Chain A
Amino acid sequence: MPSVGKFYNLPYMRQSKTVLSVCALAGLELEIPEYKHFEDNKKPEFLAKFPIGKIPAFEGANGLNLSEGAAIARYLAGLAPNSGLLGTTPEEAALVDQWVHFAETEIAMQNDTIWAMVSNHIPYNKGFHTKVADHQMRSLTSLETYLSTRTFLVGERITLADITAASVLQRVVTVTADAAVRSKLVNTIRFLETIVHQPKLEAIFGPVEYVEKALQWVPPKKEKEPAPPAAPKEKKEKEKPKKVADDDDEDDNLVPEEPKAKNPLDLLPKSPFNLEDWKRAYSNKDTRGTDGSLEWFYANFDKEGFSVWRVDFKYNEELTLVFMSSNQIGGFFNRLEASRKYLFGSVGVLGENNASIISGALILRGQDAKPVVDCAPDFESYEYKKLDVFENQEDKTFFEGALAWDLEVSGKKWADGKNFK
């Protein structure tokens, strides 16, 4: 079969996997010439065909020269309408479009930005990193919900949308979607595995490498630095950051993981109160009333091993729309992820647009809130007050209201909330 054209690319790029997968399913033959990045794409012959100077690039046998992975993939998919890769109706084609665009702009872009920062291709900034990661997480959560009732993104068979999303997700699970995050993206991971294991695509995608812990930035060593922390430095190379699909990146060496320090919360004496059991009780039972989760709580709580706290946002005058404040709680909870084992929260927005407060309750390991919450860079934006829910009636009322989502403070009623569990 004659080839439809030449495809200049680097095989590990997600766009390459997408284009090659399209050809495999569309039954198209593609020629892959020898290609040396940073050399061949600077030559006049290359630039004459592809002024953008980037890869991937496609040189059609019919004289069409095309840049931009997504455009190449769609063009090739369009050459084989019977493949169904672009759906079978204009509406399905538009939906395929929609998902490709969503995956690229709402998930991949964020992933690339974070990768570029943690590998020092652009300067690192923790606030920016957090913001971008939050954005990506919202998108992944939407995708997760959508995939909870479907196998494929559009219609009942594989399309370009699925291939593109899978190639994006394959990268995401090596950078930001670590074990903790993936536990909340069960359907998304199931989807990824389904696509990368399609018989014709398995060899193209290769193995999916799941990162244990999201890539973090390691500040470069300064000249005169004090000795590294007591814990032995692990030079074990766990995560291999895949090269970014950007043509000005050089090969990067592996970034060694930070030494694992023991969490003092794990060294506390064993407690009969099991936080996971509590979370299950809270999720499965009604909060108030007979055989409710509050009843379970009072029967099982261990005041020595755990404590209950009231949390209030310090800058309520800055809050505007209720849904934005709700998102803020969500963001705060995302950043508390590292303390998942030690924390339960039920925090809400009380009041109305432009007249609201953020307030709620936390149940945490130990007798001090700070070691549990200080993994979140913005923990100091909140005030923490220890509660005695057994002896103090006011504290008890507050706690129960926060858990039952009917808390009222200073006349402000609970409008929306989030749980950390």
Chain B
Amino acid sequence: MLPNIIQILSAAAIAGLELDLKPFELGVTNKSPEYLDKFAMGKIPAFESNDGFSLIEGASIARYVASLAPESGLLGDSVKDAAQIDQWIHFVEHEINAYTDLISQLVKGFFPEKSYFSREKTYNEHVHKSLFERQERSLKFLEQSISTHEFLVTNKITLADVVVAAVIQRAAGITLGAAERAFYPNIFAHYAKVAADPRIKAIFGAAEFVEVPLAFAKVD
């Protein structure tokens, strides 16, 4: 499950709110006139409240859901807390997850299996290396920052912890093999703690961490 879905479902679970998950077929449901009527961009995830309010962008949906239950503490207990939660979410999305996405697209040649656009033309190991170095720099900062707190912002789990854990889970399935993960003990200790929270354990699921980072496989 992608981080944006994990964060929405987790926010709902911790906030004690029920989400009605609609059956969905990519390429079919989001092309239907009924869907496009509500969500003109045709993207997922998409959220529709009971009174017809509609929203896209995973992070925005998660925050809105969290805001419906202020006692959950998901957005902290003060305006400052909320801002710092914001900061961490934004940081991991842009400075870690964005690179996981780009690298994932690179090594998979952008199209599944066969491609009209020869995969050799889109893969480039220098670009790959460059992107990974940027991700590493961000991971180093995160590792240092996580070391001083039990949770990232307050003394209990917030949306920031959920998003960081989800982003890390994804990175550990694509860019971070066993050797790479060994550099970030604090990050992974935080991950283990968050993913084990009984309210969201099933959402995080049994993560599939890679032994070695995903590499581009040449097609013969």
A interface residues (Cβ-Cβ under 8 A, vs B): 51-53, 60, 62, 64, 66-68, 70-72, 74-75, 78-79, 90-91, 93-95, 97-98, 101-102, 104-105, 109, 113, 117, 122-123, 125-128, 131, 142, 145-146, 313, 315, 318, 321, 323-324, 328, 377-378, 381
Chain A residue with minimal CB distance to B85?
A71
Contacting residues, chain A, for B114 (C-beta < 8 A): 315, 318
State which size class the interface on B falls in.
Answer: 35 or more
23 contacts between A and B (CB under 8 A): A52-B141, A64-B84, A68-B91, A71-B84, A74-B83, A75-B83, A75-B86, A78-B83, A91-B53, A93-B64, A94-B63, A97-B59, A101-B57, A101-B59, A101-B60, A102-B57, A105-B93, A109-B98, A122-B127, A123-B130, A127-B117, A145-B40, A378-B116
Contacting residues, chain A, for B106 (C-beta < 8 A): 128
- Evaluate contact between A142 and B40: CB separation under 8 angstroms: yes
- Evaluate contact between B86 and A71: CB separation under 8 angstroms: yes
- Evaluate contact between B130 and A122: CB separation under 8 angstroms: yes
Is B218 an interface residue when CB atoms closer than 8 A count as contact?
no
A390 vs B131: C-alpha distance in the bound complex, in angstroms?
Answer: 54
Is B126 an interface residue when CB atoms closer than 8 A count as contact?
yes
Contacting residues, chain A, for B145 (C-beta < 8 A): 51-52
- Evaluate contact between B117 and A381: CB separation under 8 angstroms: yes
Is B94 an interface residue when CB atoms closer than 8 A count as contact?
yes
A377 vs B18: C-alpha distance in the bound complex, in angstroms?
Answer: 49
Contact of A127 among B60, B121, B126, B130 (CB under 8 A): B121
B interface residues (Cβ-Cβ under 8 A, vs A): 27, 31, 40-41, 49, 53, 55-57, 59-61, 63-64, 67-68, 79-80, 82-84, 86-87, 90-91, 93-94, 98, 102, 105-106, 110, 114-117, 121-122, 124, 126-127, 130-131, 141, 144-145
Chain A residue with minimal CB distance to B89?
A71
Minimum CB–CB distance for A348 against chain B, Å: 16
A95 vs B110: C-alpha distance in the bound complex, in angstroms?
Answer: 30
- Evaluate contact between B122 and A315: CB separation under 8 angstroms: no
- Evaluate contact between A98 and B116: CB separation under 8 angstroms: no
Contact of B127 among A90, A128, A146 (CB under 8 A): A128
A78 vs B124: C-alpha distance in the bound complex, in angstroms?
Answer: 43
- Evaluate contact between B141 and A98: CB separation under 8 angstroms: no
Contacting residues, chain A, for B41 (C-beta < 8 A): 142, 146
A125 vs B79: C-alpha distance in the bound complex, in angstroms?
Answer: 44
Chain A residue with minimal CB distance to B106?
A128
A279 vs B121: C-alpha distance in the bound complex, in angstroms?
Answer: 34
Contact of B27 among A94, A97, A122, A321 (CB under 8 A): A321
Contacting residues, chain B, for A64 (C-beta < 8 A): 80, 83-84
A142 vs B84: C-alpha distance in the bound complex, in angstroms?
Answer: 31
Minimum CB–CB distance for B85 against chain A, Å: 8
Residue of A70, A127, A131 with highest tally of chain B CB at under 10 A: A127
Minimum CB–CB distance for B138 against chain A, Å: 8
Contacting residues, chain B, for A381 (C-beta < 8 A): 116-117
Contacting residues, chain B, for A142 (C-beta < 8 A): 40-41
Chain B residue with minimal CB distance to A324?
B27
Minimum CB–CB distance for A321 against chain B, Å: 5
A383 vs B115: C-alpha distance in the bound complex, in angstroms?
Answer: 17
Contacting residues, chain A, for B131 (C-beta < 8 A): 122
Across chains A and B, which 6 residue pairs bring their CB atoms closest together, nearest first? A127-B122, A123-B126, A71-B86, A75-B83, A97-B60, A94-B64
Contact of B55 among A78, A79, A95, A328 (CB under 8 A): A95
Contacting residues, chain A, for B56 (C-beta < 8 A): 98, 102
Chain B residue with minimal CB distance to A246?
B134
Contact of A66 among B84, B115, B144 (CB under 8 A): B84
Minimum CB–CB distance for A374 against chain B, Å: 15
Minimum CB–CB distance for A17 against chain B, Å: 17
Contacting residues, chain B, for A315 (C-beta < 8 A): 114, 116
- Evaluate contact between A128 and B122: CB separation under 8 angstroms: yes
Contacting residues, chain B, for A68 (C-beta < 8 A): 86-87, 90-91, 94
Residue of A72, A123, A381 with highest tally of chain B CB at under 10 A: A123
- Starting from the known contacts A79-B79, A94-B55, A125-B122, 20 additional A-B residue pairs (CB-CB under 8 Å) come to A52-B91, A64-B83, A64-B84, A68-B91, A70-B86, A70-B90, A71-B86, A75-B79, A75-B82, A94-B60, A95-B55, A97-B60, A97-B63, A98-B56, A101-B60, A122-B131, A128-B106, A128-B127, A131-B122, A378-B117
Minimum CB–CB distance for A4 against chain B, Å: 12
Contact of B102 among A78, A113, A145 (CB under 8 A): A113
Contacting residues, chain B, for A127 (C-beta < 8 A): 117, 121-122, 124
Contacting residues, chain A, for B67 (C-beta < 8 A): 90, 93-94
Contacting residues, chain A, for B110 (C-beta < 8 A): 131
Knowing A64-B83, A71-B87 touch, does A90 contact B116 (C-beta < 8 A)? Answer: no
Contacting residues, chain A, for B82 (C-beta < 8 A): 75, 78
